[in-house]
Amino acid sequence: MLTEEIGIKIFAGSSSIKFAEKMCKHLGTEVGKSQTITFSEGNTFVKILEKVRDKDVYIVQTIGVKPNDDFMELLFLIDAFKRASAGSITAIIPYFSYAKGDKKDEPRVSIRARVCADCLEITGVDRIITMDLHSPQIQGFFKKPVDHLYGMYPLCNYIRTKNIENMVVVSPDAGFAKNARNFANLLKAPVAIGDKTRLFHDENAEVLGIIGDVKGKNAVIVDDFTISCGTLIETARILKEHGAEKIYACVSHALIRDRGLKSLSESPIEELVITDTVENPLAFAHPKVRVVSVTKLFADAVKIIHNKESLSRLFDDIGTHFDKHSCAPNQ
């Protein structure tokens, strides 16, 4: 049944047009018509170009490469749908950049994730769907439901197709160790952990050592996002020093630009596996990058939520939401 027939409308913000189009193919529909204009001084104007009264509206907008512009556009879209009498409004945020700002860890700083949560709710959102929040506890900042999806399952399915022998899963730091353990359980592999330090609020981190046995093993580094590949490359360097053989890396969200991709090319990392939560043509075209699409995962989540069923169904069979034909370079 087409989504229009059951009252669902999928719309895309500027940062997730291709992602929304792929979702709609899985749902058997087309992206709704809307307009976003950015004026010369940076002001953003949005308009809905079709009727949405009493419809269940889903707005797809990643908060990624231009987080401030992306977030403001999302707020304006929510407000426009609210004023157009939509029945419900769900914000699908494949990557939520401000999830990193989850605490007041030093004097006189903003808890950015909480500010964003307040803005979304005040504007009129009814539900959030997102994936692999850097700090999952920020779900508690919302009074509205937050459905948190996991890229681990489709990423692990791709790694399984590589048939990597003598594998070890590596977390770059202690903060991601629990997630790395979940990866390792799915891949039936041991875990090693990097000893990472970061002195300042920047993209420069240093990995001082590795806890665990990696000598003679093929390593798969896992993390939730990368901006410059710095942590991944530092971890790969230390792994080589400790005797690791081939090195792969998996991240859910890739915001890498020119400099990071150049560093990746020169690094010992054989292959970087990412998802398509952030539209990043430069990364998608890189010869060392493989892209695993998670659009089916999000499309299935929309169907399940609309049918008022349990999202745990999504993870009963980790192969259901994986298309190995989407895992190719230059896509």
23 occurs within a structural domain: yes
Distance from C-alpha of 273 to C-alpha of 275, rounded to nearest angstrom: 7
Whether 192 is covered by a domain: the verdict is yes
- Residue 168: closest CA among 226, 225, 248, 271: 248
Does position 165 have pLDDT exceeding 70, yes or no?
Answer: yes
Q: Are residues 108 and 207 in the same domain?
A: no
* Same-domain pairing of 92 and 108: yes
Same domain for 145 and 156, yes or no, is no
Helix (H) or strand (E) holding 299: helix 295-306
Compute the distance between CA of residue 94 and CA of residue 280 in angstroms, rounded to an integer. Answer: 13
165 and 145 inside one domain: no
Percent of the chain with pLDDT over 70: 90
Residue 331 confidence class, pLDDT cut points 50, 70, 90: very low
Residue 264 lies in a domain: yes
Q: In this predicted structure, what is the pLDDT of residue 281?
A: 95
Asked if residue 242 belongs to a domain, the reply is yes
Q: 139 with 206, same domain?
A: no
226 belongs to a structural domain? yes
- Active site residue: 196, 246, 296, 324, which one? 196
Question: Is 22 marked active-site?
Answer: no
The 10s digit of each residue's pLDDT in 90-103 is 999 999 999 988 78
**pLDDT the model gives residue 208:** 72
* Strand 269-275 with 247-254, pairing: parallel
Q: Which domain holds residue 258?
A: 152-292
Residue 209, in any domain of the structure: yes
Question: In a 3-state reduction of DSSP, which class is residue 34?
Answer: strand
pLDDT > 90? residue 126: yes
CATH code of residue 228: 3.40.50.2020
Sorting pLDDT into bands at 50, 70 and 90, what band is 161?
very high
How many separate domains does the chain show? 2
Q: How confident is the model at residue 329 (pLDDT cuts 50, 70, 90)?
A: very low
- Which pLDDT belongs to residue 206? 65
Does residue 43 register a pLDDT over 70? yes
Same domain, 162 and 119: no
- Is 119 part of any domain? yes
Domain check: are 114 and 182 in the same one? no
In a domain, 320, yes or no: no
| pLDDT at residue 190 tops 60 | yes
Residues 254 and 220 grouped into a single domain = yes
Distance of alpha carbon 327 from alpha carbon 276, whole angstroms: 10
* Residue-level length of the chain: 331
